[in-house]
Each structure stands twice: as structure tokens, then as C-alpha cells.
Structure 1
Amino acid sequence: MHESLDFTRTRPWGRPACMTPDILCIGSVLWDVIGRSNAHMHKGSDVPGRIVRLPGGVALNIAMAAKAYGMTPALLSVVGRDVEGDELVAALERLGLVTEMLYRSEDLPTDVYMAVEGGNGLIAAIADAHSLEAAGDKVLRPLEGLNFTGPIAVDGNLTQDLLGQIAADARFAHADLRIAPASPGKAERLLPFLTHGSATLYVNLEEAGLLLHAPQPDAPTAAETLRKRGLHRALVTDGSRTTACAHPGGVIARMPRSVMVTRVTGAGDTFMAAHIAAEAQGADPAAALDRALEAAATYVSGDTY
């Protein structure tokens, strides 16, 4: 159990530990194994392409994007003490992420996501996140005795029980919680946060409708309705259509910049990280939303950020 975390200490093998984090990212940290081909594919296709293995997972994607925007993220998740886990942690440290808060399990393997993508989009994917689910609240152990006042990003890959525990935990009652659903299929796991007094929810229009148990006509309506349910703040995206932020001062609506879309997966994580980083640098609600939309547009267009 991590009773004390000194981020300025020197590690046993002589390399200084990472800097003190200014954002915590709680959720999935795993290997993405992606097979890509330019060919259009269907069931039973056998085509040439490329297979890559990259660090992934919603919490990690948010952390990597936040790092790109100048923040120092720490990861709270489970990574096995297997070869894959050692390689993953080494990759994260090369990226400049704080890994001291990871739960390194002796008996749980490192999680993995596997997908096949063709010229006609995602063909199939399997997410093996059983270790994150099995670890449960062990991933929260580093928070014991840790006086952290910065933003805490939480992703919906955590179990429904653990998400409910976080929403009800007195330690998080006034915390700057930033919540991402991970996917529409996991959106309803976030229902306990709808009455949280300091949580910010980042969802797309479909996910907002699932949380509200009714389809929503547009992002401003959805964001305002989420606020009326008791949520502190809601940011709702809708692809190339209007994005909205409902906050205690009202509702801000913006149209994203029109771009040629070359990738979509990860755009929401980039939007969320850019919004958090903008606010950490002092941006007001409108400016933070503008910067998040610009970051997402740059990302989906395939340009570097």
C-alpha cells in the first residue's frame, strides 16, 4: 500500500523519479494491438497490412494528450508484473508520465486491446480489461494520505461499483473530477456522478442521451439538461455539429472548425485533455472550450498537436 508518495525521491537504480504531477488519470492503461490495412474488409478477409503495438487505454490517452499540452500526468491503474507490463511501464516513463502510482500486480496480467481496421473503418475489436476490473479499488490506494488538489480524470472502464464508490467517497466530494465514459456502452456507469457537486462530465450526444434515458436534439440542450439533473458541469460534443459547455454561469455553444477527418478514435480524449490543460493555464470557460475544439480539430485532421 502506498502510504506516502515522494515524487522527488531517487529510485533504487539511480534515476530520479518523475516530477510532482498536476493531474491524476484513473482508469485503463494497456497495450493497443492494432492491425491496419487500406483494403476494404469483411468477415473472413485475409489481407496484407501492418500490425502495431502502442500504449493505450482511455486514462492513458488522456494522460498522453495532457502531457503534450504541458501538464505532468500521473497514472492510477493496474499493470501486471509480466514482461508486457515491464515494457509498458518503460514506454510510459520514456513519454514522461508519472508511473509511481500504478498498482503492479503479481498475479494479474497486463490488459490489452486488439482491433482490426480496414479501409472501410473498424472491422472488429476486443478489449481485455479484466485486470482493471479485478484490481478494483486497489488502483485508488495511492490516494490515501495524498493531498492532491488538481484535476482528477476518471474513465468509465472502471467497474460500476468502483465508479459509484468514487462518486460517493468523501475524499472526492469537492475534488475537481473530470469524467469520461470510455464508450457509449459504458455511459450509464456514470449515473452516480450526475448529482456530484464538483464533477465535470465529457460526453458525446449519444452518451448524453443514454445518461438522460432520452435522445437529445442537440449538444446545448443535452448539456443544460445534464446540469439540471444536478451535475456541476457538462461538456457535450456532436461530431462536426455544435459543441456545448453547461456550467454554473450558463451555456456556451461553439461550432467546431471544419476539417478533413482522417481519424476519430481518441478525439474525445484529446478534447478533454486540451480543455483541462487550458483551464489549468487560467483560461475562462469560453476560451477553454475554444482551445479544446481546436485541439480536437487538429487531431482528427491528422496533424500533429
Structure 2
Amino acid sequence: MSKTPDILCIGAVLWDIIGRHDNDMERGHDRPGRITRVPGGVAMNIAMALQAYGMTPALLTAIGRDAEGDELLRSCADMGMITDHIYRPHDLPTDRYMAIEGRNGLIAAIADAHSLEQAGDAILTPMSRALQGWTGLVGLDGNLTVDLLSQIASDEAFAKADLRLAPASPGKAERLRPFLSHPTATLYVNLEEAGLLLDTTFQDSATAATALLSKGLHRALVTNGAEAASLALGNKLLTFTPPKVEVKRITGAGDTFMAAHISAEATGATPETALQNAMNATATYISGDSY
């Protein structure tokens, strides 16, 4: 690689196509608004936020050899990310994500990450040598297949890495179950995703974070929208209530939380400060401001 990465971001790198309306929306509504197309995907969102904090991420993903893929790859490189080892299949298109958002939150979304799923462990092959002995940070998202996530969870190449996991969406939360017993895994989930992982329902983030640890997880961070978020590690339980802000965007909020927490810890922040920093950064993001 041309640079040494601060973190490996493994998962979805695609185009986000987001339509936003300034007022509340319901199913079936047809409203004026703005439609944007920007680089996205969980791994990409985390990488962009980390890059904004001064860290250098390396991307491990699948990007097609089509025009959209060429443009996306240039965007990644222009932002200073390490793209040397991105897998580029000849027979698969570049993935996309489409969402509709209103003032009342996410109305609907479709994630087309089929190329990433079909690529399987081929996305790891270009980094196989660099991964030998890797003990640094790894950001991993649930857009990968169950088989590949299970493979990574038991792979000795990742046994000593500092794994940070994001489910990508509630519908993919259960894919991360193989990491509940991983010795270094930190899981970033919202309240719904925590419940899906453990096949139950939680009323607050503290109860959810504690329950995840009881199943063997190394560390859990659970968010709950505008309510308190919690971090559980060993016998320690921390909670922090986010600032109240007007919600102007939703897509990418969880990835912003995760990246802000990772970057704060990377600079030596205490657990309390890192959690507070993540909540404040997320509030800034969803209010429509920059990172």
C-alpha cells in the first residue's frame, strides 16, 4: 500500500441516492424535495467520517468496473482513502442505496448490495498479506453475507484485531451473532437491532447493552434515537443523553456515531468523553451541519 492505514473499513461502498422532503411524510406521499447522489454505504460512511477526523482508512469492498464504479473509486481516492486493494469484479455492477426521508425520519429505503454479497471473501484476498498479524482497528459492516461474517469471526487473521461492528440495518443485525463471543469485538447497534440480535425487546439502551454482554460480547454501545445511549464493558455501564436538535437527515447517523467514537478513542479519550463526543457529533450530523 502507498500508506499505512489507521483502520480497515470492510463492507459496503456504493452510491447513496437520497430524496429528502422538509416536512413530515407518510406512505404514499408524493412531495417536492431534493435528491442527492453521494458516495455512501456503511463502510464508506464510516471511512469518510474518520477521514474528516484526520484518520487514514483503507477500504476493502467490491466496486464494479462500470462507469459508476470508476467515478466512485475516484471519489474515494480524492478524499485520501486507501483504495489500492479494492476488489473490482468484471461481471458485477456497482452497488447502490436509495432512501426517502422526511422531517419525521426515514420513510423507506432499499439497499442493493448484491455485488458485495456475491463477491464474498474475494474482497479480503487483495489484503491477505497485509492482514497477517494485523492488530489495529477494523470497521466491519453487516452488509457482508452471513457466511463471510462467520468466516471473519473465526479467522485467526482477525483474532487480535480491534473489531468494530455495525449491522448496517435492523434487517441485517442478526448477521453479527457470530461476533457475540469474539474476544475483541465492539458492537454498535440501536435499540431495535439489539433486540433482534437477542430475539427480545428492550425498553432502554442500558438494559440492552448489559444483555449483550451477558451473551459473551466484549463491548456494546447501544443508541436509542433522542433517548440515552449506553456503553457496557465488563462491570462498567455508561449512559449519555444526546442534545436535542431538529432532525434534518437520518441516513448515515449511526455510522457517524461509530466513527466519532472510534476517532475519540484513537486520540486517547476516556470512555466517558468518547461516548459524549459520539453523541454530540451525531447530533450535529442529523441537524444538517458538517461533521
Aligned 8 A contact 2:106 2:250 in 1: no
- Cα distance in 1 between the residues matched to 2:235 and 2:136: 21
* 1:154-233 matches, cutoff 5 A: 154-233=140-219
> Which residue does the alignment assign to 2:270?
284
> Which residue does the alignment assign to 2:89?
105
Q: Of the candidates 125, 140, 143, which is equivalent to residue 127 of structure 2?
A: 143
> Which residue does the alignment assign to 1:51?
35
Provide structure 2 residue ranges, at least 5 long, that are not aligned to the other structure: none
SS in 2 for 1:191: helix
* Further displaced range: 181-190 or 91-100: 91-100
- Cα distance in 1 between the residues matched to 2:98 and 2:7: 28
Pairwise CA distance, 1:157: 0.5
Name the count of aligned residue pairs.
288
**Amino-acid identity (%):** 61
Say which one has the larger Rg: 1
* 1:256-275 matches, cutoff 5 A: 256-275=242-261
Matched, 1:74 2:58: yes
Pairwise CA distance, 1:171: 1.4
> Which residue does the alignment assign to 2:221?
235
For the structure 1 residues 254 and 48, does the alpha-carbon distance in structure 2 shift closer, same or farther, using more than 3 Å as the test? closer
Query: TM-score when scaled to structure 1?
Result: 0.89
Task: Look up the equivalent residue of 1:75 and give its one-letter code.
Answer: L
Matched, 1:30 2:5: no
> Which residue does the alignment assign to 2:117?
133
Query: TM-score when scaled to structure 2?
Result: 0.93
4+ residue segments displaced more than 6 Å: none
For the structure 1 residues 118 and 202, does the alpha-carbon distance in structure 2 shift closer, same or farther, using more than 3 Å as the test? closer
Task: Look up the equivalent residue of 1:136 and give its one-letter code.
Answer: G
Pairwise CA distance, 1:48: 4.6
Aligned 8 A contact 1:41 1:119 in 2: no
- Cα distance in 2 between the residues matched to 1:113 and 1:261: 21
For the structure 1 residues 168 and 253, does the alpha-carbon distance in structure 2 shift closer, same or farther, using more than 3 Å as the test? same
For the structure 1 residues 262 and 105, does the alpha-carbon distance in structure 2 shift closer, same or farther, using more than 3 Å as the test? same
